[in-house]
Structure 1
Amino acid sequence: MEYDVETLLSLVGQEILVSDWISLSQDEIDAFGRVTRDIDPMHMDPEYARKHSPFGQTVLFGFQTLSMLSHLCSPIRYRHDGGAIGYDLNYGLNRVRFISPVPVNARFRNRMTIKSVEQREDGAYLITSENTIEIEGQERPALVAEWIGLLSREDA
């Protein structure tokens, strides 16, 4: 899916993406814990989690779920003014709420809505989106995040 700035402006307030369902295995959760040096047994030790966790099984790290936004939004491409391909850089997050944990091997996906598109003085654009990661079969989402991307020209 490719969007130019003019189209994005017309889509403010609208959902532009429902990603494919994905899941993460225990090995992927363990790798995240090792890389971030957070070896919490609630995430990395299935036996411990069965006995001591309020969830009865291991769950993704909250920040691991948040980090999956890059992958879940990867089908989206933006074009800058004049049709030039733009770089969409991670500018930051305004608000993140971790609502429900994602169990190991559970399927989840993202719903993305454009909140605003603002041009900066340097000609770049700030694109703010609301992202809701849903867990298959659960009413409450895993997280809701307001994410800001900086769209700059490829030749900038």
Structure 2
Amino acid sequence: MKTISTLLELEALIGETLQSDDWLEVRQEDIDLFARATGDTQWIHTDPERARRESPFKVAVAHGFLTLSLLPVLMSRTIKVQGVRMGINYGLNRVRFTAPVPVESRVRLNATLRDVKIDESATAKSATLTWSVEVALQGAEKPVCVAETLSRLYF
């Protein structure tokens, strides 16, 4: 994990690719909870036996949006910016789910900082960060998700 102490250090990271410290396992329990929360209970996610028999993947797979929703935890294992009062997800410019995430597989993040915009308004000092991210699947050559994400940090 990379620890950053100042905005200057953060700006110096532009163009650098960081990787999360460890792999995160995607369990069937996580998939089932996500299905319940979103109402997306399609059998390819929630019925491992049917998925084994009928799916081209031969196992249950995580929802693409579940994979996307792992970005905050994966990012927290990648970089820590000291002095942040609050951080928010500001949006997405582009997202693609490029491969399935099989149940009980492990993922981690590769994140490249593309831009830092600092706003020092009278009400709050903030920085909007643009990241190119790839969620990597352990043992796979290509990523399972690629995205350009925006986050805003308040100091």
TM-score by length of 2: 0.89
- The offset of 1:36, in angstroms, is 0.9
Which AA in structure 2 matches 1:2? Answer: T
Any stretches of 5+ residues in structure 1 without a counterpart?
none
Higher strand share: 2
CA contact (8 A) 2:111 2:134 kept: yes
CA contact (8 A) 2:19 2:108 kept: no
Match of 2:21 in 1: 19
Structure 1 distance, partners of 2:20, 2:26, is 18
Match of 1:111 in 2: 110
Which AA in structure 2 matches 1:89? Answer: I
2:55 matches 1:53: yes
TM-score by length of 1: 0.88
Structure 1 distance, partners of 2:60, 2:44, is 6
Name the SS of the counterpart of 1:109 in structure 2: strand
The 3 A distance-change label for structure 1 pair 124 and 87 is same
Count of aligned positions:
149
- The offset of 1:26, in angstroms, is 1.2
Which AA in structure 1 matches 2:131? Answer: S
Identity rate, percent: 38
CA contact (8 A) 2:84 2:153 kept: no
Structure 2 distance, partners of 1:19, 1:131, is 15
Any stretches of 5+ residues in structure 2 without a counterpart?
none
Match of 1:140 in 2: 142
CA contact (8 A) 1:19 1:111 kept: no
Q: Which moved more, 1:37-46 or 1:2-11?
A: 2-11
CA contact (8 A) 2:45 2:62 kept: yes
